[in-house]
Structure 1
Amino acid sequence: MKTLTRSLLLCATALTGTQAFAQSTVTGIDSLDDRITDVRNDANKDLSDMEDSQRFGPNAFKPGWGGAVALTYAGTSGNTDTDDLAIAAKLTYGAGAWQHTFGLGVEYGKDEGSRTKQDVFGFYEGNYYFNDRFYGFGLARYEQDDFASYRKDSFVGMGPGYRIFNEADMAWRVQAGLGARYYQVNNAARDDDTELAGILSSRFYYRINDQMFVTNDTDILKSDAGTLNTNDLALNVKMTDTMVTRISYKTEFNSAPVDGREKTDNTFGVSLVMGF
């Protein structure tokens, strides 16, 4: 809200700029440069927090709200070979030992007038830290993909987590839990079921220097219907005080695809991420 307020003040000053600079006694003109500097510093701090401070434990998680929005161009190979546009958003909220993360992603693509991709993904994860290393988590995720083996796939579960490394330049945490999985098969009958499922996740972060950092996120979801394995490797490069370029390679493996579909999808992506 502080950054937003200052931004609105800057807009108001710009709209009245002709009169303001013509009358040097107008209140607030002398402090305009200070306001611009404050806005830039706040944006730079928010961008640093966007590097996923959740990886570093409760003391490093920024209290209150934060987040990032990304616009992505992606080329895919596997079940679909398309050029796609995607929008993703992530919000975080810290309050004492609690950490909350919300995410939403939408991908849509067309090829010569025909729809080639329509994927909607959302999740919520809440973590409660008992100390700097050990925590408990609750997770809810939902995905609807008209071009995947499972048209709908959701999971709700909970379990323990542990930080193996928690250094300034390197962080690694793992977590495992049990829950319920609901899925709908992407076939003519739209068969669906709800099953007991388990999830295993890994989150790795390494800072190369002040401008570059690497992340590798892995999730394995297992139920009677099969195993879903997702690995997302990314290089993040800071371009300005408020923008990061993210180059990623994502692999999705399904041990039991429906007839006519492959087990593996690979996605190469280049994203422009803005922190706030």
Structure 2
Amino acid sequence: MKDYSGKVVVVTGGAHGIGAEIARRYAQAGAAIALFDIEAPALETMAEELRTTGATVLAVHGDVADYAAVGDFADRVFESFGRVDLVFSNAGVISAGTIWEEPVEDWDWLLGVNVKGLVHTAKAFTARMSAQDFPSDIVNTASIAGLLTVENSPAYVASKFAALGLTEVLDLQLQGIGSPVRAHAVCPAVVSTDLGRCNEHRNQPEFNPADHPYLQSTDYTKRWAVVEGSLPLGMPVEDAVEVIIEGVESNTFLILTHPAYNPAIAGRVQLLLSGSHPQLVQR
């Protein structure tokens, strides 16, 4: 890993999982860290952990689905540090269900975080980063579910296909204006994080999942068990972050953490070209 002394690294969803490990690694390499997360206690714990290592840390509580909050965060980052070198737009949530039964509120919540969160972060940071006279990077967390359809989680799949597509467009548009900013899309498969806790942090005061019949049904319970059961079996967070950092440093656009899925990605392309109906991913 390179030396990041004097650099500033921004991480949304920085209190847990991939985001927290990214913050640790760049702090160890000398960077100042700006964290943004919806869970205030975990955010402060993470900030204190980094500060005990000597890192300079700005920690701001907020929801990436709230455009004004993300804009205020960006203002505080530039006011505090005067520059930004890397933005990891990492906050994300997951749901499960069938398209015809999963509540619309699930879709609103998930797309608000996984898609609009990326948009809000790009809008808040990109122009100011482009105005800097040095190269910098925006790294959007998509998913292998943005390349392969996962039958259990329709809203999540839709959001991650959107995340990958908008990151491709972002990179093309940055190239088009000659910006020194480069965009990257991270597409991990399952990583051993606490993503399954995301329901605890819904910013939907008008919606209580416990009141929705489908979210109490046997079908939903089975599907959510697949999500929760897969996470402890995933790649260690440290290994995934190692691949991500190497990808960014080598200017890789599409950063794939799980090469075992590459044949399935190639197979999907062949299915698309053949006009065939989708097939379940062979894991």
Q: TM-score range by the shorter chain?
A: under 0.3
Structure showing the higher helix proportion among its residues: 2
Higher relative contact order (CA 8 A, sep 6+): 2
TM-score scaled by length of structure 1: 0.27
Structure showing the higher strand proportion among its residues: 1
TM-score scaled by length of structure 2: 0.27
